[in-house]
Amino acid sequence: MTALPLRLDGKTALVTGAGSGIGRAIAICFARAGARVAALDIVDAAAGETTSEIEKLGADAVAVPCDVTNQREVDDAFALVKRRNGSIDILVNSAGIAHVGTIEHTTEEDFDRVYAVNVKGVYNCLRAGIAAMKEQPSGGAILNIASVASSIGIPDRFAYSMSKGAVLTMTFSVARDYVHHRIRCNCVAPARIHTPFVDGFLARSYPGRESEMFEQLSKTQPIGRMGRPEEVAELALFLCSDAAAFITGSNYAIDGGFVTLKM
């Protein structure tokens, strides 16, 4: 039997943090699979670049500037997408920020900033997404981007780990509460993925030693390299497609063996 390609034809996928990194890769991947994509990002120009790339593929996309920490902006953005496309069938919560430091090196401002984006931002989008999907007989699929830091201790990642642990448990809660509304909710837990954040972190922290430190960080994963945003996007496509219709309340590691092979 030949496996059929994963398709999202006729579905609207709303992706937060779609202007760069994992979110951008997911938005483009979903468009290639036939979805109409709403690319949300706090940086309007970045969202526009993503939608321009999608439109070059001949697919439908709209860029929506949105600060996920602001509930009114989120509600307005989701309402706009639903008016435009008639439904919100898929929600991917990819918007997030990182922070490096132990609790002693995490200021109150650092903590509040990480919490606002990575926890409150996901809450705001889940709240708006569920309200839209409950109105649809077909329900919907939600995917949250968590992290290996959700479930294991990683040095110097106090605030980030806190926030991604919350993403994991919000995933379980939403999956349980809305399973009878035909709403599936899962998350993926990446390890180090080569995104613009990694390049920026290396440039700031190790000027002149970027290549050396990139290689060192890559080798912390047993597979010997960092992941690519496109690899996360392929897993996201499966989990948001009808091929995963029997999957909800699950957390999928995509980490080059980081958790199971190093513990």
What is the predicted pLDDT for the residue at 263? 53
Q: Is residue 4 part of a domain?
A: no
The kind and range of the H/E element at 240 are helix 229-240
- 212/237 same-domain check: no
Record the tokens describing residue 76, joined without a space.
């307005």
Domain count, the chain: 2
**Token couple for 135:** 């109105």
Residue pair 91/66 in contact (Cβ under 8 Å)? The answer is: no
Paired residues of 14 in beta bridges:
38, 91
Does residue 31 fall inside a structural domain? yes
Q: Please tell me whether residues 216 and 245 are part of one structural domain.
A: no
In this structure, the answer to whether residues 133 and 18 fall within a common structural domain is yes
Predicted confidence at residue 254, as pLDDT, reads 96
User: Can you give the pTM of this predicted structure?
Assistant: 0.94
pLDDT digit string (tens) for the chain, length 263 residues = 455 679 999 999 999 999 999 999 999 999 999 999 999 999 999 999 999 999 999 999 999 999 999 999 999 999 999 999 999 999 999 999 999 999 999 999 999 999 999 999 999 999 999 999 999 999 999 999 999 999 999 999 999 999 999 999 999 999 999 999 999 999 999 999 998 878 887 888 888 898 888 888 888 889 999 999 999 999 999 999 999 999 999 999 999 998 888 65
Residues 202 and 137 in one domain: no
Burial 23-43 (b: 16+ CB within 10 A, else e): bbbbbbbbbbbbbbbbbbbbe
Q: Same domain for 56 and 75?
A: yes
Q: Do 78 and 201 share a domain, yes or no?
A: no
- Is 217 inside a domain boundary? yes
Q: Same structural domain for residues 116 and 216?
A: no
Same domain membership, residue 99 and residue 124: yes
How many angstroms separate the first and last alpha carbons of the chain?
Answer: 38
**Of 160, 178, 206, 252, which one is the catalytic site residue?**
160
Catalytic site includes residue 252: no
**Domain contains 260:** no
Collapsed DSSP state (helix, strand, coil) of residue 207: coil
Instruction: Give the domain range for residue 53.
Output: 12-191+228-253
